[in-house]
């Protein structure tokens, strides 16, 4: 019974968060947390734009959502595979886990993360984003 209550509360909270991001643009909302790294340094962190991208995607503007943070869209399949192979067991899942969670795959993800962090703060990327976003 306790597990059902926790799952229900989590589901209601998730629906509430989705509804908030659908109806309130994080750019102008006071409830949306602001990035401390951006506020302190003036540079965007790798996850900057996720809240605005979620708002855009929930309102059907998928192109803007992608360009606000394309890294998230590109690595989401890998992230979902990591979650799947972490929490689900089975013969096929176990063989998939050995590939998805292999140290080289993790190192590759970490390398892409830092490359994206540097790239998104270049003048070249800012120019692209100004024209699209």
Q: Does the predicted model carry a pTM greater than 0.95?
A: no
Supply the angle between the helices 70-87 and 103-119 in degrees, to the nearest 10: 160
Q: What is the pLDDT of residue 1?
A: 63
Q: For the chain, give the mean pLDDT.
A: 88
Q: What is the pLDDT of residue 58?
A: 92
Supply the angle between the helices 50-58 and 2-23 in degrees, to the nearest 10: 80
Q: Summarize pLDDT for 5-34 with one digit per residue, the tens.
A: 888 898 898 898 888 888 888 888 887 888
Q: Any long-range contacts for 37-42 (C-beta under 8 Å, 24+ apart)?
A: none
Residue 133 pLDDT > 70: no
Instruction: Look at the block and give the residue holding tokens 């993360």.
Output: 113
Q: Summarize pLDDT for 80-122 with one digit per residue, the tens.
A: 899 889 888 888 888 889 899 999 999 999 999 999 999 999 9
In the chain, domain spans: 34-132
Q: What is the pLDDT of residue 121?
A: 92
Q: Summarize pLDDT for 57-77 with one digit per residue, the tens.
A: 999 999 988 988 899 888 888
Instruction: Look at the block and give the residue holding tokens 């998730």.
Output: 14
């Amino acid at each position: 019974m306790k597990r059902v209550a926790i799952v229900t509360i989590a589901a209601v909270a998730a629906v509430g968060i989705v509804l908030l991001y659908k109806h309130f643009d994080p750019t102008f909302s006071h409830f949306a947390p602001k990035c401390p790294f951006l506020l302190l340094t003036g540079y965007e962190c790798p996850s900057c734009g996720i809240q605005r991208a979620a708002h855009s995607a929930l309102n059907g503007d998928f192109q803007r959502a992608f360009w606000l943070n394309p890294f998230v869209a590109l690595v989401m399949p890998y992230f979902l595979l990591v979650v799947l192979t972490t929490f689900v067991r089975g013969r096929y899942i176990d063989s998939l886990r050995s590939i998805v969670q292999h140290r080289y795959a993790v190192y590759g993800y970490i390398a892409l993360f830092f490359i994206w962090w540097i790239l998104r703060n270049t003048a070249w990327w800012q120019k692209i984003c100004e024209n699209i976003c």
